[in-house]
Amino acid sequence: MEMTMRWYGSRYDTVTLQQIRQVPGVTGVISTLYDTTPGEVWTREAIHALKEEVEAAGLRLSGIESVNVCDSIKVGDADRDKYIANYIETLANLGKEDIHLVCYNFMPVFDWTRTELARVRADGSTVLAYNQKAIDAIDANDLAASMDKMSNGTVLPGWEPERMAKVQELFEMYKDVDGEKLFQNLVYFLKAIMPVCNEYDIKMAIHPDDPAWSVFGLTRIINSEKNILRLMEAVDDVHNGVTFCSGSYGTNLENDLPHMIRVLKGRIHFAHVRNLHFNDTSRENYDFEEACHISKDGNFDMYEIVKALYETGFDGPIRPDHGRMIWGEKAMPGYGLYDRALGATYIQGLWEAIEKNAQRG
Ligand code: CS2
Ligand code: MN
């Protein structure tokens, strides 16, 4: 595995490449071109400039999160082939720049959904949280505005104001898209891009739906072992792979995370490792918050998660996922420096222990 951190680019991130470079063991960043909109072609020049900037700081551009898939492709509109052709061109340009990992998601309208971006925990840190009652009380149209207000003035990935301004229109676009249709549109997209992925050895890694169930009546399909395996079989090519995000699959406690990692052996190309703390698991009051990375702060056995990655031979980039806001830091919710740095070292500690234990028999 390669330890990485997500970086939003010098115009959007409060964290610098120089800071990331000083986090023990981190050798790469995962980034994207934030000035692009889904559907447009990424030029080779722009990709090259990003790569140069990262390399000048002594780091590697280890992958892209995300090349977002535009709504026409997701709903299967008449013009989807045009946008798929653009996506293919972007992939070819990434391949020519020697980038071989692309994370993306196939969630309708909203990317991840939370009801609070700064819930205060007992130790005074703040975290992202989800509360079912709050979701049930919100009009989906208002969610975008409230997320924006809670974002510390940053642009939340997946919640770009330009897209959210059209949220009603987006709901309209998806009104006839059920789970089966969305799945077929995803398969159609993947089959179309596999040739370019094979040509340049680009590993596509789908990010799971977060939370792992339908919100605001919008269907969600990448949320369980059964569904992700169905996708792996539908397009049975190693370049059709997975971002294993423990915090997203883990929102549904029925998902057995280490087991899922084992059955997905060989198809996990990217790992997001984080923990969740559940306060209530009853249907009406479902409530969780994003804990720090260590096992005892949350509900997941982080040792078993990292061990399953190790034992299945995972060799892709791994990154700490959302962190808490601590030590007075002001940053994009979930993406401050300090707590993610702690997460990165913790994950590496687990990895080293598991590896040495295995090697020494
Ligand atoms: C990420 C997602 O910050 C996050 O919650 O895990 O936004 C993720 O980057 C996208 O869903 C991937 O396309
Ligand atoms: Mn994730």
3-state secondary structure of 120: strand
Which ligand 1 atom minimizes the distance to the CA of 158? 7
Between CA 340 and CA 217 the distance in angstroms is: 33
* Domain range 2-360, CATH class: alpha beta
The residue whose CA has the least distance to atom 8 of ligand 1 is 207
State residue 157's pLDDT score: 74
Name the percent of the chain in helix, strand, coil, to the closest 5.
Answer: 40, 20, 40
239 given a catalytic annotation: no
Mean pLDDT of the chain: 95
Distances from the Cα of 39 to the Cαs of 36, 79, 300, in angstroms?
Answer: 9, 11, 36
- Please list the residues that pair with 29 across neighbouring strands: 5, 61
State residue 130's pLDDT score: 96
Between CA 105 and CA 70 the distance in angstroms is: 10
Catalytic residue among 100, 239, 269, 272: 272
Write out the DSSP string of 186-215: HHHHHHHHHHHHHHHTPEEEEEPPSSSS-B
| Distance between Cα 284 and ligand 1 center (Å) | 26
State residue 80's pLDDT score: 98
How does residue 159 score in pLDDT terms, banded at 50, 70 and 90?
confident
Q: Is 105 in the pocket of ligand 1 (CB under 6 A)?
A: yes
Q: Is the pLDDT of residue 158 over 80?
A: no
State residue 346's pLDDT score: 98
The residue whose CA has the least distance to atom 4 of ligand 1 is 112
How does residue 156 score in pLDDT terms, banded at 50, 70 and 90?
confident
| Distance between Cα 9 and ligand 1 center (Å) | 16
Q: Is the pLDDT of residue 141 over 80?
A: no
List, for residues 179-234, the tens digit of each pLDDT value: 999 999 999 999 999 999 999 999 999 999 999 999 888 999 999 999 999 999 99
Rounded to the nearest 10 degrees, what angle do helices 338-360 and 302-311 cross at? Answer: 60
Query: What number is the average pLDDT over the span 70-95?
Result: 97
3-state secondary structure of 275: coil
Ligand (nearest to CA of 246): 2
Return phi, psi of residue 277, to 5°: -115, 120
Which helix or strand (DSSP H or E) is residue 28 part of? strand 28-31
Between CA 252 and CA 250 the distance in angstroms is: 5
What is the model's pTM? 0.96
State residue 148's pLDDT score: 79
245 given a catalytic annotation: yes
User: What percent of the chain has a predicted confidence (pLDDT) above 70?
Assistant: 100
292 given a catalytic annotation: no
Q: Is 158 in the pocket of ligand 1 (CB under 6 A)?
A: yes
User: What percent of the chain has a predicted confidence (pLDDT) above 90?
Assistant: 86
Catalytic residue among 210, 287, 321, 339: 321
Mutate to test the pocket of ligand 1, among 4, 7, 64, 105 (most ligand atoms within 8 A of CB): 105
Q: Is the dihedral of CA 340, 346, 352, 355 positive or negative?
A: negative
335 given a catalytic annotation: yes
Ligand (nearest to CA of 105): 1
| Distance between Cα 111 and ligand 1 center (Å) | 7
Query: What number is the average pLDDT over the span 245-257?
Result: 97
Q: Is the pLDDT of residue 155 over 90?
A: no
Going by DSSP bridges, is the β-strand pair 203-207/126-131 parallel, antiparallel, or unpaired?
Answer: unpaired
Domain ranges of the chain: 2-360
- Provide the CA 215 distance to its chain's centre, in angstroms: 18
48 given a catalytic annotation: no
Residue for token pair 């680009």:
202
How does residue 331 score in pLDDT terms, banded at 50, 70 and 90?
very high
321 given a catalytic annotation: yes
Strand 287-290's sheet: what is its strand order? 116-120, 126-131, 287-290, 276-280
List, for residues 275-323, the tens digit of each pLDDT value: 999 999 998 999 999 999 999 999 999 999 999 999 999 999 999 999 9
Return phi, psi of residue 210, to 5°: -140, 110
Mutate to test the pocket of ligand 1, among 66, 110, 221, 274 (most ligand atoms within 8 A of CB): 66
Q: Which of 1, 9, 5, 49 is nearest to 23 (CA)?
A: 5
Q: Is the pLDDT of residue 243 over 90?
A: yes
Return phi, psi of residue 147, to 5°: -65, -40
List, for residues 23-68, the tens digit of each pLDDT value: 999 999 999 999 999 999 999 999 999 999 999 999 999 999 999 9
How does residue 138 score in pLDDT terms, banded at 50, 70 and 90?
confident
State residue 78's pLDDT score: 95
3-state secondary structure of 169: helix
Between CA 43 and CA 227 the distance in angstroms is: 34
Give the tokens for residue 253: 């406690």
Rounded to the nearest 10 degrees, what angle do helices 179-200 and 225-234 cross at? Answer: 50
| Distance between Cα 321 and ligand 2 center (Å) | 6
Looking at the chain, how many residues does it have? 361
| Distance between Cα 307 and ligand 2 center (Å) | 19
